[in-house]
């Protein structure tokens, strides 16, 4: 069997957006019986929240949709850019930070924005929801879910 496809989601704090995307993609992959074919993780460009569990509001919206979030916040490392096949940034600032981390040395990973995969995206950035209320997190969930469905369709077309 071939190596699993590995996907790393990256945001600023690794407590709101990227753990939600990690949980949603993992859920979609498991629903389709493709768990063995994917490795999915998340990380942050900043280190303020290292070691913390996902933000309670991300946990709550995920749970409302039958998805359990896990993991602890960690900072993205240069090695991640060689390990993962696909690194998906939530906004352009995250992407710039990843490009800086790659430092022109040709990372193995393909670097993308999540909005690259969102068929309904009207803005390149998935906005930082940290100062939003729960309704902002529900909007975040819908955006992330839509983009992850389309990402998975590209990585594992239904006929695969
Ligand atoms: P995230 O959200 O990048 O989606 O995890 C944030 C979490 C914390 C902060 C900013 C964004 N912060 O400034 O502490």
Number of residues that make up the chain = 160
- Digit-coded pLDDT (tens) for 101-134: 998 787 787 999 999 999 999 999 999 999 999 9
Tell me, in angstroms, the distance from the centre of ligand 1 to residue 130's CA.
5
Nearest by Cα to 124 from 85, 81, 89: 89
Spatial distance between the Cα atoms of 66 and 27, rounded to a whole number of angstroms: 9
Site to probe by mutation for ligand 1, drawn from 49, 130, 131, 140 as the one with most ligand atoms within 8 Å of Cβ, is 130
Residue with tokens 């753990």: 19
Task: Check residue 1 and give its pLDDT.
Answer: 59
The residue from 11, 16, 41, 55 that is catalytic is: 11
CB under 8 Å to 7, separation ≥6 — which residues?
A: 25, 38, 39, 40, 41, 84, 85, 86, 87, 88, 151, 155
Task: Check residue 3 and give its pLDDT.
Answer: 87
Task: Check residue 105 and give its pLDDT.
Answer: 80
Task: Check residue 27 and give its pLDDT.
Answer: 98
Query: Could you tell me the mean pLDDT of each successive run of 10 residues in the chain, 160 residues long?
Result: 90 98 98 97 97 98 98 97 97 97 84 97 95 96 98 87
Fold category of 5-155 in CATH: Rossmann fold (3.40.50)
The residue from 17, 97, 118, 148 that is catalytic is: 17
- 41 in catalytic set: no
């Amino acid at each position: 069997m071939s190596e699993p496809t590995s996907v790393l989601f990256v945001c600023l704090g690794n407590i709101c957006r990227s753990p939600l995307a990690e949980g949603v993609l993992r859920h979609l992959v498991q629903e389709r019986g493709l768990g063995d074919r994917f490795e999915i993780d998340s990380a942050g460009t900043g280190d303020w929240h290292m070691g913390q569990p996902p933000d309670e509001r991300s946990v709550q919206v995920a749970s409302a949709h039958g998805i359990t979030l896990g993991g602890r916040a960690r900072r993205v490392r240069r090695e991640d850019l060689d390990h993962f096949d696909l690194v998906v940034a939530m906004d352009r600032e995250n992407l710039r930070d990843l490009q800086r981390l790659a430092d022109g040395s040709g990372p193995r990973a393909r670097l993308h924005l999540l909005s690259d995969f969102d068929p309904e995206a009207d803005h390149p950035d998935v906005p930082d929801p940290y100062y939003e209320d729960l309704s902002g997190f529900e909007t975040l969930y819908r955006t992330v879910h839509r983009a992850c469905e389309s990402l998975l369709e590209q990585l594992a077309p239904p006929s695969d």
